[in-house]
Amino acid sequence: MAVYTHLGAEDLAQLIAHYDVGRLLSFKGIAEGVSNSNWLLETTQGRFILTMYERRIETDDLPFFLGLLDHLSAANCPVPRTIHDCDGAAYRMVDGKAVALIEFLPGLSPSTPTEAQARSVGAALGQMHRAAQDYPNTRNSTLEPQDTLEILDQCGTDALAGIDPALPDILPIGARIVADWPEHLPGSIIHSDLFPDNVLMLGDEVTGMIDFYFAATGAMAYDLAVTHAAWCFDDTGEACDPALGAALIAGYESLRPLSDEERAALPLLAQGACLRFIASRAQDWLETPEDALVRRKDPMDFLRRLEFYRANGQSAFA
């Protein structure tokens, strides 16, 4: 989440008038994240999240994303539902940009996850994968390893080296990941971005999984590998906590056991996940405007994770 576009009180009040959610009382911008502009709104009927789609999201994809929230919420997954406007539309246009109103869910994102929290997140992810298997819509991912390697190529060796002299080393590593990428693993709709800041918790209970705007049809084991890379390391990517990883996978398998093929693929899937975040962080580092209310994230944090998965292989998931 972030704030790229600034809307005033009059703009937001006029927008909210198209929804049956009461009168706007207050609002504030949400600064975390890198892709969209977001506001927390309080009305006479409660709290809501307003999102304006700024980057990486095509308007044509919004029916998939917003319909997925409604589908998962109806299946009792901890996911916010879309608030439709008085005409039944899931999103509206403001100054040429799409905006959507989303249910606010209680909870806090853990900054230092515990084993119990990791287990709960694994279980919630397994529940989501099962519930999404009968979602009637599909979406091809635009962030497959080949796509993310192309992003890094487009950044250029010199620009990558300007972020960190070691960062260009990812290019030949990425080429090997692309060449060895597994096909035909069991699939569903996957979140593919389930970082701790995209999970809300009250104690050890998952109250919300949010920010589904990278969701796509894909391998469920890849989604688990993304979550492992996001939850089981310190902020720098230098230290992995095996107890967190074991709890995450145990929670997931309590709802959906992995096949032998999926388990064997986890080390490479995790490397592909790291490649993706290296690419997106490098691109954001180079392209984020200086005046944006956004904190740039270091791609080297995920290069260190990738090297961990390369060095440890299957034992990284033991």
Alpha carbon 82 to its chain's center: 17
Report the first-to-last Cα separation within the chain, whole angstroms.
33
pTM of the full structure: 0.91
Mean pLDDT rounded to a whole number for the chain: 94
Q: What is the pLDDT of residue 8?
A: 86
**In the CATH scheme, what is the code of domain 9-103?**
3.30.200.20
Average pLDDT over residues 127-140: 97
Overall average pLDDT of the 31-53 stretch:
86
Q: What is the pLDDT of residues 16-41, one digit of tens each?
A: 999 999 999 999 988 665 568 889 99
| pLDDT cut 70: percent of the chain above it | 95
pLDDT for the residue 1: 41
> What pLDDT sits at residue 287?
86
- Tens digit of each residue's pLDDT (9 = 90 or more) over 113-130: 999 999 999 999 999 999
CB 221 within 8 A of CB 186: yes
Grade residue 294 by pLDDT with cuts at 50, 70 and 90: low
Short-list 23, 30, 26, CA closest to 6: 30
Interior/surface letters 12-30, b for 16+ CB within 10 angstroms, e for the rest: bbebbeebebeebeebebb
pLDDT tens per residue across span 155-201: 999 999 999 999 999 999 999 999 999 999 999 999 999 999 999 99
- Please name every residue paired with 240 in a beta bridge, in sequence order, or none if there are none: 233
The yes/no answer on whether domain 115-317 falls in CATH 3.20.20.70 is no
CB 100 within 8 A of CB 91: yes
Amino acid letter at 235?
Answer: D
Domain residue spans of the chain? 9-103, 115-317
Cα–Cα distance list, 134 to 71, 82, 118, 130, 140 (Å): 9, 19, 26, 8, 16
